[in-house]
A and B are shown apart, each in its own frame.
Chain A
Amino acid sequence: MKRILAVMLAVVALGVLAFSAEKIKAGFIYVGPIGDYGWSHAHDVARRIVDEKFDWLETIYVEAVPEGEVETYIDQLVRQGCNVIFTTSFGFMDGTLAAAERYPNVIFAHCSGFKRNANMATYMADFYQVYYINGLIAGALTKTGKIGYVAAFPIPEVKRHINAFTIGVREVNPKAEVHVRWIYEWFNPAAAKEATEALIAEGCDVFAFTEDSPTVVQVAAEKGLPSFGHYSPMYDFAPDYVVSGQLVHWEKIYEDFLVKIYNGFYTTKNLAHVDYWWLLSQGAVEVGAKPGMVINPKYEAALKNYVINHPAFGKISVYELVFIRLNQMADPGITFDPFQGPVYDRKGRLVVPEGMWMSYDALITMEWAVEGVVGPWPGEP
């Protein structure tokens, strides 16, 4: 009896030990205000999801942090006992690396950068496949053959998205053009409004964008024109006009990363090669006007009636094509990529040879503009 009791006690003690692994206190540093309805908002939504999900996790955040100040804020978060710190802007990269070297016992993860350390990983959820799917839909909906794109900054990430979008557009509508306007801000509703109005004046009748507010959706809807939401679910801003859009699920990455730390799989010693580049197949991004609604039902009929003669699938409606492509990319064994060769840039150069896919490095340093993009393109090779 005593022996059984001792064994039971030992089991209980082991159990307690196993489950009393250190609590994690994670600090999140955002470049924008969490009310921006874009990038920082999406990270904060994800933070709250993981915070609710795990009782061993405590989170705090700081918003609107200027890029040069990131080290100061990291200092303060460490002083408050954070043992995991996420920094969510490319401009935080060098400051995060310096802090990682200064605090070898804290785990860092930097979003969208490329510098890592034994205690510093990198992560990114990218939209290029999602933009391609949106492009297929946009190509079928335009009547003028001109699609407007309001873009933030001419950097590879945004260029990659515009290119993927345009490839989608041209796959179903080879003569259509994507007209681009740069506003040089991540968040500037006034500039986004002006750019949208200018594009409408040029004859554009479908809109996509990269900007952290629902402005483009609202301005287009006022004129009765369809658009694609960006970053957050924008369906509610214009239920009749938001066709689809790009949605992000940063919580998938945060959950994976934090659970692996909790289980002792990730430590302060082994992160030098940990880089999340998560796409549709990992569920980090989603195509939809809002979660679960890939295509706004109001536009289903139009897409089912738009039938093309596809080189791979023969006679097919765009509605069907969207879901075929989505499945090809969402399946863990991905069988399709938007940048599947042959891809020509708009100067006529072959940038992806027949049958080839682009490497990760080529994707994240993309500077060229694909055929079909119209408008200025700073840094075009």
Chain B
Amino acid sequence: MRRLGPFVFEPRLSPPRYIVFGVSVLAVVVALLAAAPVFLGYGQNPWQAYAAIGRGIFGSWPSFSEVLRRAIPLILCGVGLTLAFRAQFWNIGAEGQLLAGAVAATGVALFLRVPEGLRLPLMFLFGFLAGAFWGLIPALLRVKLGVNDVISTLMLNYVMAYIVEWLVHGPWKGPTMRGFAYTDAFPLAARLSFLPATRVHWVTLVLGVVMAVLIALLLARTRLGYEIRVVGQNPDAARYAGINFTVVLSLVMILSGGLAGLAGVGEVAGIHWRLRSPSHISMNYGYTAIIVAWLARGNPLAAIFTALLFGLFFAAGDYMKTTLGLPFQITGVFNGLILFFLIGFDLLMFWRVRLARKEGAWISQAGS
């Protein structure tokens, strides 16, 4: 128990669902209030603007489908990250693992001689393997050499971004692109199909949901899942119980990186149909997924919903830029405020706040 001024904070170990839901809604509402002056500053009535954004996104299936489309890479990366975070492996490298998957998929799409029917399945397979490989490196570095996982996963993002840059400027530069730094477009057999009237590459979306279910089952129902949780919650106990850290963390990062790799396949096969500058392949999906996983509190199924929430933010941002004509920075401010309050209001989920009633109570509580 802690106190701050006239308030007393009591820990709430496992908050009931209605609290989690209520606090999250409250956070969004407060964020909308906090963002209102920004809209006013740009000559927009904030309430009309919010209503316009709501209508714009939920008004039609094609517009709403954008939420789904933007959520796809976040679901795959986010689910992978919940797994890594459960093992207390701080994978900040989903961005690089996603790009690794995009590179492998491009290689298969453009350069591998395979029957056309096999091309997409092989793109997903190699994309998974490439992401897994990129994730495995920091896992082994930590287990064998004690290298800090935050640093190594983060740095490998830059390495992979430069590899992509080198590929599109060098060996993979497309002969039909007149010297510009893009690969040639993928053949039709290497492009994912869309849901009707949208640009939602549904195969990747289904893959993301299936993976979320599988990872949830893995964590809850299998021996490996149990070991992962023990490694995360109590490494000393895990060591004492003879759990093989090398095996567990390697598998965790193979899955975590592999899922990000699948997201990369989806982006190049479903949206770009080519490899291009890394900053245009991934709009920081790998980093956003960290928050997706964090807000999901390590629950892979919840990551689907937090990913959709961020898909909504992205779609709202697109809408604000075009229809309301706001500068793109305002989109960032708006999303940043919502995030700030969502994370800040965490306090209310895990701590019960009430007014201290009596002077005496203060003292005894302060002493406890």
Chain A interfacial positions (CB closer than 8 Å to B): 33-34, 60-69, 71-73, 75-77, 80, 90-91, 94, 114, 153-156, 159, 184, 364-367, 378-379
Contacts and interface: CB of A to CB of B under 8 A. Distances in A.
Contacts of B182: 91
B169 A153 contact: yes
A155 B182 CA distance: 10
Interface stretch (B123-131, B225-233, B321-329): B321-329
17 contacts: A33-B327, A33-B328, A63-B327, A64-B321, A66-B283, A67-B277, A68-B276, A69-B318, A73-B318, A76-B322, A80-B322, A90-B180, A153-B169, A155-B179, A365-B178, A367-B179, A379-B170
Contacts of B49: none
Given A68-B271, A72-B318, A184-B169, 4 more contacts: A61-B325, A63-B328, A68-B276, A379-B169
B199 interface: yes
Interface in B254-293: 267, 271-273, 276-277, 279-281, 283
Contact of B276 (A33, A91, A379): A91
Contacts of A66: 279-280, 283
Given A33-B328, A75-B62, A379-B173, A62 B322 contact: yes
A187 B169 CA distance: 17
A63 B321 contact: yes
A62 B169 contact: no
A354 to B, nearest CB: 26
Interface in B90-122: none
Contact of A68 (B165, B170, B280): B280
Contacts of A367: 179
Contacts of B199: 71-72
Q: Give chain A's interface secondary structure class.
A: mixed
Contacts of B280: 66-68, 91
A159 to B, nearest CB: 8
A69 B323 CA distance: 16
B66 interface: yes
A364 B178 contact: yes
Contacts of A68: 267, 271-272, 276, 280-281
Across the A-B interface, give the 9 residue pairs with the lowest CB-CB distance, nearest first: A156-B179, A64-B328, A76-B322, A67-B280, A68-B271, A68-B272, A62-B321, A62-B322, A66-B280
A38 B196 CA distance: 39
Contact of A153 (B62, B181, B328): B181
B140 to A, nearest CB: 30
A378 B328 contact: no
Nearest to A160: B179
Contacts of A155: 179-181
B179 A94 contact: no
Contact of B178 (A64, A76, A156): A156
B334 to A, nearest CB: 14
A109 to B, nearest CB: 18
Given A64-B328, A184-B165, A77 B181 contact: no
Nearest to A154: B169
Q: Which of A61, A153, A364 has its CB near the most chain B CB atoms (within 10 A)?
A: A153
- Measured as residues with beta carbon below 8 angstroms from the partner, the interface class of chain B is 20 to 34
Question: Counting chain A CB atoms within 10 Å of each CB, which of B62, B179, B181, B277 scores highest?
Answer: B179
B278 to A, nearest CB: 11
B276 A67 contact: yes
A241 B60 CA distance: 56
B185 to A, nearest CB: 7
Q: Which of B180, B185, B199, B276 has the most CB of A within 10 A?
A: B180
Interface string B48-85: 00000000000000100010000000000000000000
B319 A76 contact: yes
A154 B323 CA distance: 36
Contacts of A90: 180
A189 to B, nearest CB: 16
A66 B276 CA distance: 11
Nearest to B274: A94
B127 to A, nearest CB: 17
A28 to B, nearest CB: 11
A303 B340 CA distance: 58
B181 to A, nearest CB: 6
A74 B305 CA distance: 28
A236 B179 CA distance: 34
Interface string B163-195: 001000110010000111110010000000000
A369 B147 CA distance: 44
Contacts of B318: 69, 72-73, 76
A379 B267 CA distance: 27
A66 B69 CA distance: 15
Interface string B284-327: 00000000000000000000000000000000001101110101
A61 B181 CA distance: 26
A71 B194 CA distance: 14
Contacts of A60: 322, 325
B7 to A, nearest CB: 42
A66 B170 CA distance: 22
A40 B74 CA distance: 29
A33 B327 CA distance: 9
A63 B199 CA distance: 21
Contacts of A61: 325
A348 B15 CA distance: 76
Contact of A365 (B179, B181, B328): B179
A184 B199 CA distance: 30
Contact of A379 (B62, B165, B179): B179
Contact of A77 (B179, B267, B322, B328): B322
Contacts of B62: 75
Nearest to A366: B179
Contacts of A364: 178-179
B185 A94 contact: yes
B167 to A, nearest CB: 12
Contacts of A378: 169-170
A367 B271 CA distance: 29
